[in-house]
């Protein structure tokens, strides 16, 4: 994968104006390190942060920004950085590198990361991957059946039941749009299938959120959320209630999440220790317990592997060229804002 990437889209400008005013400086002074977009409810970062505290004696607070908001905050603070590291969707990570917001630094085990899942200069690298699909709170569906396909979501029985994150800002939101577009026969030169689908979904009462919505799905507020398998499996096996992950019949995509070292980070050496830890055997193995697929070859425990959908289901999920996806994002965002929202 090439590393030529354009901006995250129109959502950044709005996010920057909001988060530039956030009172993060005082919080940062009370912590050992600051990670932007490390949400406790997402990918089980809450437990990972506890592990970092226990193993490294480094205290990092959870942070509920999405990827676009994290990049916007780093831009706003460029003259006096607050964050040390950031966890971003791959599109946001490449964008941050292109904008000179992150350091070129290679963690331990960098050479073991497969090509296409890291920047050659070390400005970003994947730590794990997920598969985009539908996170379903079965108990909150009422009389509606569990959907099997993207097309099902447009049916009247799902009116007001479907949610997704803002695709102009959140990495998972844009990944959802790319997954839909790819599954419905679109391309990075033609997002018409996704735009048309999301317009119909808007007419069916779709819920669009800015932040991680795991808790809102578990509570039943958003019965069907476009999200990754790891969040759905976490709910299925740790929460009260009945939850399912659906890999839509038309197909979907896989998506890497990456780490970066913020340029001129105020606690860079501490941040580097955390970044190394995330690629350690223990750090990588932890991601499997959170139902993520680590970027390095660690063996997934059998009891965890058996909780995933069968491998035959995952054959419908494609790896895509995120260079092309990122280059197309600004144009998609413009169309989304003018035609859908």
Q: Are 239 and 218 within 8 A, CB to CB?
A: yes
pLDDT digits (tens, 9 = 90+) for 27-37: 445 579 999 99
d(CA 281, CA 277): 8
Q: Is 191 helix (H, G, I), strand (E, B) or coil?
A: coil
Burial track 104-125 (b if 16+ CB lie within 10 A, e otherwise):
ebbbebbeebeeebbbeebbbb
Please state the rounded mean pLDDT for residues 285-297.
93
Question: Domains in the chain, ordered, with CATH?
Answer: 35-129+256-313 (3.40.190.10), 130-254+320-340 (3.40.190.10)
* Cα 201 from Cα 24, distance rounded (Å): 36
Average pLDDT estimate for 96-116: 96
| Span 63-99, pLDDT tens digits | 999 888 999 999 999 999 999 999 999 989 999 999 9
pTM for the full model? Answer: 0.80
3-class state of residue 43 by DSSP: coil
Question: What percentage of the chain's residues is helix, strand, coil (to nearest 5)?
Answer: 45, 15, 40
- Bridge partners (DSSP) of residue 245 are 135
Count the Cβ atoms, other than its own, within 10 Å of residue 81: 19
């Amino acid at each position: 994968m090439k590393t030529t990437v354009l901006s995250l889209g129109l959502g950044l400008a709005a996010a920057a104006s909001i988060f530039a005013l956030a009172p993060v400086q005082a919080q940062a002074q009370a912590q050992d390190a600051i990670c932007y977009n490390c949400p406790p409810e997402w990918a089980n970062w809450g437990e990972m942060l506890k592990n970092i505290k226990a193993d490294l004696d480094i205290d990092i607070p959870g942070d509920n920004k999405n990827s676009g908001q994290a990049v916007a905050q780093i831009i706003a603070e460029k003259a006096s950085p607050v964050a040390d590291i950031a966890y971003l969707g791959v599109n946001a990570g490449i964008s941050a590198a292109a904008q000179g917001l992150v350091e070129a630094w290679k963690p331990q085990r960098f050479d073991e990361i497969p090509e296409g899942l890291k920047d050659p200069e070390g400005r970003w690298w994947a730590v794990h991957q997920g598969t985009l699909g539908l996170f379903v709170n079965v108990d909150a569906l009422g009389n509606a059946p569990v959907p099997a396909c993207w097309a099902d979501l447009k049916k009247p029985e799902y009116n007001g039941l479907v949610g997704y994150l803002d695709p102009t800002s959140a990495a998972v939101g844009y990944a959802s749009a790319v997954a839909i577009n790819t599954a419905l026969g679109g391309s990075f030169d033609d997002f018409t299938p996704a735009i048309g689908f999301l317009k119909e979904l808007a007419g069916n009462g779709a819920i669009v959120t800015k932040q991680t919505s795991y808790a809102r799905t578990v509570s039943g507020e958003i019965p069907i959320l476009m999200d990754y398998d790891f969040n759905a499996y976490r709910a299925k096996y740790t929460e009260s209630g009945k939850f399912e992950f659906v890999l839509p019949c038309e197909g979907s995509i896989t998506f890497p999440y990456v780490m970066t070292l913020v340029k001129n980070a105020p606690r860079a050496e501490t941040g580097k220790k955390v970044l190394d830890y995330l690629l350690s055997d223990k750090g990588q193995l932890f991601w499997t317990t959170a139902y993520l697929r680590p970027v390095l070859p660690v063996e997934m425990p059998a009891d965890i592997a058996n909780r995933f959908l069968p491998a035959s289901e995952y054959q419908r999920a494609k790896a895509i060229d995120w260079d092309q996806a990122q280059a197309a994002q600004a144009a998609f965002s413009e169309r989304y804002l003018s035609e859908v929202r």
